[in-house]
Structure 1
Amino acid sequence: MTVDGGYADFFGPQVPRTGDEGQTATFALASAAYRDNEVSEILKANSEWHESKVSEGQKWAKIFRPNLGEAFATAVVNRMLGSGRKPLIQSFGAEPQVVVEHCLAANRIRKERDNLLSMVMVLCGVLFLPGLLIWLLVFTLRTTVAKRDDKRASTLATTLLVAVGALAVIFLLRMPFTGFWAWYARAAVVMPVVGWFWAKRICERTARDLRARWDSLLSGSSVGAKVPEAVPSSPGETAAEQLRQSLAKLSAEQQSNSVFYAGPKGILGMGTRWGSWQLAEDLVPADPDREIHPFRSWDVIRSIHDQLRMLERGPLNTGGFPKPSIRHWIVTPVDENAGAVSRPEGTDVEAYQVKPHAIQEICNKQQFGSGDRHYLGVQWVLWDGQLVITMLITVTVLYETLRIEVTGHALGRVHPLFSAKPAAKEKSVQKSLKRWESRTIKLPLVDTDEVVRLAARAPLTWYPPLLNWLGGSLTLPEPFGLRHVWADKPWRHRFMADDALRAATPVLRVVHSAAIKVLKENGVDTEKFGSRSASLSGAVQDASPKKADLYDA
């Protein structure tokens, strides 16, 4: 796959088809682009290793604050498609291009709404600026009062709005001006209110569309993300061509065979290391009169690779393993608090892929000291993309000792925050006569404050830096990858934990069996290797998750 591939490689289809299983994690993350919750809700998905941050902007400009969908879609698009962006972490168990396309689609829907609201603001607001400023001041005060903890705050806020409305009516009836300014003053009072009703209809229509897409993604019907601006229709459309290339670059980076080990955080994108099993014995000739036939680490790895491909087959027809992904990985060490990563570059790398001859050289030579390391990985993506199990194998030879290390990594499901469907807006109130009973009343999909917020933000969406300075924005965790920064621990789910633990035993036995076979073929005495392998095979049956990346030292 090349970065400059044709349109068909990356745009057909743009999202998985309806009923496509294994996309739960992808659709859950994509649904965040359509949400209308408070932006601070995403902080609930923070973990001990990865934290999103929400900047509040200017305290006096809370009316310009974004909601979760607006902040999420903008932040993800800027981070993953922005010019000069930093490298991304692969999203195993999810398709980042699909998520980004939904973010682009959500931004386009909101842009169309904001264009209409901007027109309303010009016709009913800017032309009658004194009245608009007064009404905005009133709504800002009302919102500030309503958010106080005092139980009477809501009543006071409503009273304030009613009082201002009464004063507006009195002002219209007993106008202190005459002539042109009298009519302008009347219009300055009335037109912002007319614009509010007009804006409310626009906002409600868009809100219904966004919520329908949110619900559809989580229900499995997988509504398509239409991104026409990413498909150039003529050679002169440089913006569309640049966006197309950015999406192609994102897709290519997702396929990279380079990953990063960040200390206690484990391998970024694959999760923390929960278990480790090591077989290390001396290389002794099976025949004292003959020397060992020379072989290298790559010969052992290649044999292990061939045997791991047989994992999906078994002597009994009982289901067993689904087909795993078996790949050679180049692992680069980074600091656990690193704010960015840097992918390998040079003639040995093409389209984010380390070439096979370079992989073989790293496997054979870079086993001690600084530099990247080679690992053979067998990976399963289970539970519709919610669980990623990775077993990594590395072979090292130092002096006369051959060491085979198998480590287990697990990445849990996407945080439940992303799986919450849109709830009807309603609240419980006391009955007027039977005060000990309550009833549920439906609230409008878009309330008064929301209409004012959207209308006030609309004209400023043309210059995002100013809007972010006023209302705040969402800062994504770094190094950023859509899947791992919002992943829960798999051990909280009984069956997911079982799947991760059960994978260790057969993988370990296949690895040892393949390695011992190579050793025998090259004249190595395998008695000690066999004994040690049997011991590990017994120990791994009682595997339990541990913090293997945290050394007690």
Structure 2
Amino acid sequence: MTQLDMTPGAQVPRTDVGPQTAVTSALSSAAYRDGTFRELEEKLGAKLKNGRFELFRPSAGEAFSRAVIDRTLPAKRNPLVPSFGTDVRMVVEHCLAANDLRHARDRQLALVTVVCGLLFLPGALVWLAAFQVRAQLKKTHPAREGFYGTLALLAACGLALLFAIRPPVDGPWSLYFRLMMLAPVVGWFVARRICLRSTIDLRTRWQSLLEGGAVAATVPQAVPRDDLDRKATDLRASLERLTSEQETNIHHYAGRKGLLGAGMRWVAVEMNEDLRPAAGHADFRTFHRWDLARKIAERLGSVAASEVPGGDMPHVSVAHWVVQDIPEGADEIGRPSTPEMDGYRMRDFGIQQIANRQTIGTDTDTNVAAQLVLHNGQVVATVTVKVTVLGRNLRVSVYGHALGPLNGLFTAKPKPKEKSVPKTGKFWEEKTIVLPLIDDDEVVRQAVRAPFHKIPGLLNWLGGSLTLPEPFCLRQAWTDKTWDSRAKSDSVLYSAQPIFNMVQTTTIEFLADHDVDVERFTNRANISRSENQAVRPFKADAYDAG
């Protein structure tokens, strides 16, 4: 990622990489992908909005970059769900950088299109019609595309040869008709070199990000040239807004979707007993829910330490959260706009006020959250603690949430394009041949899109676009199940247990300090720990959670 300086053109790569490096790089690499954008629907289950002309379809990287930029950078947009274990700003900057590389290519292609296409428009339209037929057949009737697509191109070639040999008119216009079908072919050869060079550059960045290379996202348009450069200033402010928004402590629970950004709940551990004075005391000392929640948060801050060398828990963060309940089908989230808010965060006194009042029957409550980012960001394990008091009954609820790894599409490296064909003389056997990195259809696709690269809305209308799921969380939108991996599943299970134990121990100590009889609480904690140690038959590699 790049930390942008106010000096024009200054780009300083950031070095503050954390445990989220791998997943951030994987998401960033999607901005440089090639291939059809329909694979996003096939492999990710993403919703696509079809365009009017198949010839103008975007590539996977173009659709992903445009969708992410349009969703994250506008001044007026719906709030984003925090993406734990991910540097969202870095991903967005790579989307901007990929767009810049493509725009540089498109400027060159646009010149070729104007000279060899627009000036010889009748001939160019004939060629485009042939390629549109091929593209449409490839989408609707893949089995027939080879025959009918070739037939359409042969018809265009025959027309070009006919006009070149015997133009339909005499005089000066005869030269124009001779060149009308040939000039687009010359333009195709020039455009192919431009497209090939660009594709190799994008693929190199794609592969380098997945292999851990230092690929900096250069975003010069976010560096103001002077005090009047409003566009760059606004872009810079939008990028900084992304960073601030990720630090929010306002979160949302959406039914079976779980805690947005943290995943579904997979376990619940309860301590539920009546508050009774300890022996020798007429009554226990009064306390507030916030007092116990704060004590738990303080103790969880030390849960990562271990007296055993190498036993420390990695990257544990503890925070107080305000959790709002929203319907499972809600298509947006909201955040309060009250004096208790400081930007995207609620101030401590606001959280304390919510914690100390009765929240039963309301949609807002407070939790203590302990979070671990594991497996280079591929797994986010979150444990939330909720303290509830009803009359003299105290309930301490500890919930585990898990957010699994990214879909495998994001970690797939670029591969050469290959095709299996029958062997010459041995038609019953097949051999694999390497296809050109850029074929005819891809050159034409990029060339016809190039003149409209400054009008992304029109390109979306012409060729289609990617529709992001709402409420949108960059990290959670394309997550696979945690439980499909044994190592990742065990990491979630093991990391949660010390937190559960610490919460139980802290609660008992706190109650004892306030003259509460803790015998029943201690028994409950011992029973809970015993259940975790019990031996019973079960399917070791099959989980019912998430």
Shared fold per TM-score greater than 0.5 = yes
Q: Does 2:414 align with 1:422?
A: yes
Task: Please give the secondary structure, in 1, of the residue aligned with 2:320.
Answer: strand
Q: Which residue of 2 aligns with 1:225?
A: 217
Q: CA deviation at 1:267?
A: 0.3
SS at match of 1:389: strand
Query: Which residue number corresponds to residue 433 of structure 2?
Result: 441
Q: Which amino acid aligns with 1:137?
A: A
Residue 258 (structure 2) aligns with: 266
**Residue 507 of structure 1: how far off its partner (Å):** 1.4
Contact 1:271 1:411 (8 Å CA) reproduced: yes
User: 2: distance between equivalents of 1:495 and 1:52?
Assistant: 28
Shift of 1:6: 8.7
Question: What is the CA–CA distance in structure 2 between the aligned matches of 1:68 and 1:415, rounded to whole Å?
Answer: 15
One of 49, 60, 64 as aligned partner of 1:55: 49
Does the aligned pair in 2 maintain the 1:258–1:331 contact within 8 Å? Answer: yes
More displaced 10-residue stretch of structure 1: 365-374 or 178-187 = 365-374
Q: Which residue of 1 aligns with 2:21?
A: 23
Q: 1:334 to 1:150 in 2, by over 3 A?
A: closer
Report the equivalent of 1:319: 311
Q: Which moved more, 1:509-518 or 1:383-392?
A: 509-518
Task: Decide whether the 8 Å contact of 2:274 with 2:393 is kept in 1.
Answer: yes
SS at structure 2 position matched to 1:394: strand
Aligned position for 1:35: 33
8 Å CA contact 2:65, 2:99 repeated in 1: yes
- Note the 1:488-499 alignment, pairs <5 A: 488-499=480-491
Give matches, 1:321-400, under 5 Å.
321-400=313-392
CA distance in 1, matches of 2:224, 2:169: 57
TM-score (norm 2): 0.93
Do 1:366 and 1:372's aligned partners in 2 also have CA atoms closer than 8 Å? no
Look up the equivalent residue of 1:331 and give its one-letter code: V
Measured at CA, do residues 547 and 401 of structure 1 come closer, stay the same or move farther in structure 2, by a change above 3 Å? Answer: farther
Worse overlay, 144-153 or 119-128:
144-153
1:479–1:21 distance in 2 versus 1, CA, 3 Å: closer
CA separation of 1:14 and 1:483: change in aligned 2, threshold 3 A = farther
Contact 2:19 2:373 in 1 (8 A): no
- CA offsets 1:151-187 (integer angstroms, 9 cap, x no match): 5642443344234323322321122311121111122
2:496 to 481, 493, 504: 504
Q: Is the 8 A contact 2:407 2:479 kept in 1?
A: yes
The verdict on how the C-alpha distance between 1:542 and 1:106 changes in structure 2, with shifts beyond 3 A counting, is farther
User: Kindly tell me: are residues 12 and 383 of structure 1, through their superposed partners in 2, closer, same or farther at Cα, counting changes over 3 Å?
Assistant: farther
Number of positions where the alignment pairs a residue of Structure 1 with one of Structure 2: 536
Distance 1:188 1:15, change over 3 A: farther
| Structure 2 partner of 1:242 | 234
Greater mean alpha carbon deviation, residues 374-383 or residues 360-369: 360-369
Deviation at 1:346, TM superposition (A): 1.3
Judged with a 3 Å threshold, the aligned counterparts in structure 2 of structure 1 residues 548 and 298 are, in CA distance, closer, same or farther, namely farther
Secondary structure of residue in 1 paired with 2:307 = coil
User: How far apart, CA to CA, are the structure 2 residues paired with 1:265 and 1:233?
Assistant: 45
> Comparing 498-507 with 381-390, which one deviates more in the overlay?
498-507
Instruction: Please state if 1:461 is matched with 2:442.
Output: no
Whichever residue aligns with residue 471 of structure 2, its letter is P
Instruction: Indicate the SS of the match to 1:390.
Output: strand
SS of match in other structure, 1:375:
strand
SS at match of 2:119: helix
SS of the residue aligned with 2:113? helix
Instruction: State the alpha-carbon separation in 2 of the partners of residues 23 and 289 from structure 1.
Output: 54
User: Structure 2 unaligned runs (5+)?
Assistant: none
For 2:34, the aligned partner's letter is D
Q: Deviations over 1:324-378 (max 9, x none)?
A: 1011111011110100000122111112011011111111114312141110011
Q: CA RMSD in A?
A: 2.3
Q: Secondary structure at the match of 1:379?
A: strand
Output one character per residue of 1:385-418: Cα deviation in whole Å (capped at 9) or x when no partner: 0000011111111110111110000000011111
Deviation at 1:506, TM superposition (A): 1.7
TM-score by length of 1: 0.92
Greater mean deviation of Cα atoms: 227-236 or 538-547: 538-547
- Inter-partner Cα distance in structure 2 for 1:7 and 1:372: 41
Q: Identity, % of aligned pairs?
A: 43
